[in-house]
């Protein structure tokens, strides 16, 4: 009779141990992956929290700055608006002049103006001492054929210069207060308006006048509200 082969107990035990080891390794790997995933999520959460906190600080700083800016700008706006309203109620401390006529520039380059009574004047006479905000606007343009008459093909530059002078009793000659210097490319059509303002302390009997040191042909007399000159009392 043949002999039956019995299962090898030691081989079965080895096989069972191997399976158990593999299961343990897989569990360890799974746990490690889970830990890594948790760490990544924790890192992302910390970054998100940090970002939210940072944005909170930014918002708080911005609101504080806006409040501070509004608080500091309000007195400045009040300082500018109240004197203007007062000046409008008192015609002796406010002036707003427009050109007396087309080509109101005299041979001496001194501008002539028209006041509220339609009188032609060449200066503002101060009746009340104090600090005045003085302003001037000048409009310029390149006329047709102007550049050709100068032999320019459009590459030259025209200089736009206007100056406010102060005449004061006791002064031998007028003193410059403020000057604007701009340029305009010589090409047709081309336009430019130049504004300037200046806070200045003036005395009673002082006079302000405007001198334009620019080719008279470049002054744009036809632009509505393009040229004006004025001043108002900001504070005494």
CA-to-CA distance for 220 and 99, rounded, in angstroms? 11
Confidence class for position 34, pLDDT limits 50, 70, 90: low
- Residue 20 is predicted with a pLDDT of 57
CA-to-CA distance for 30 and 154, rounded, in angstroms? 79
- Residue 77 is predicted with a pLDDT of 41
**95-154: pLDDT as tens digits:** 899 988 765 676 678 998 988 888 888 899 999 999 999 999 999 999 988 888 877 665
For 158, phi then psi, to 5°, come to -100, 135
- Specify the 3-state DSSP secondary structure of 198: strand
Contact 182, 99 (CB under 8 A): no
The fraction of the chain above a pLDDT of 70, given in percent, is 57
pLDDT at 168 over 60: yes
- Residue 151 is predicted with a pLDDT of 72
Kindly state the greatest CA–CA separation across the chain. 151
User: Kind and range of the H or E element at 65?
Assistant: helix 9-89
Mean pLDDT of the chain: 75
Average pLDDT over residues 76-94: 54
**172-222: pLDDT as tens digits:** 999 999 998 999 998 888 999 999 999 999 999 999 999 999 988 899 988
């Amino acid at each position: 009779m043949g002999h039956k082969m019995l299962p090898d107990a030691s081989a079965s035990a080895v096989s069972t141990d191997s399976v158990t080891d593999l299961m343990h390794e897989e569990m360890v790997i799974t746990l490690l992956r889970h830990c890594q995933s948790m760490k990544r999520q924790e890192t992302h959460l910390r970054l998100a929290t940090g970002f939210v906190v940072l944005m909170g600080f930014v918002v708080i700083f911005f609101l504080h700055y806006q409040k501070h800016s509004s608080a500091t700008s309000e007195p400045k706006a009040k300082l500018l608006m109240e004197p203007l309203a007062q000046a409008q109620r008192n015609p002796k401390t406010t002036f707003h002049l427009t050109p007396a006529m087309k080509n109101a520039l005299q041979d001496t380059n001194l501008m002539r103006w028209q006041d509220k009574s339609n009188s032609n004047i060449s200066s503002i006479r101060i009746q009340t001492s104090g600090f005045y905000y003085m302003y001037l606007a000048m409009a310029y343009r390149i006329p047709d054929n102007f550049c050709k008459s100068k032999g320019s093909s459009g590459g030259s530059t025209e200089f736009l210069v206007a100056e406010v002078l102060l005449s004061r009793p006791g002064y031998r000659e007028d003193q410059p207060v403020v000057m604007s210097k701009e340029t305009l490319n010589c090409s047709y059509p081309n336009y430019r308006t130049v504004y300037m303002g200046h806070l200045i302390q003036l005395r009673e009997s002082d006079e302000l006048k405007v001198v334009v040191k620019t080719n008279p042909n470049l002054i744009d007399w036809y632009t509505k509200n393009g040229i004006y000159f004025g001043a108002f009392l900001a504070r005494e």
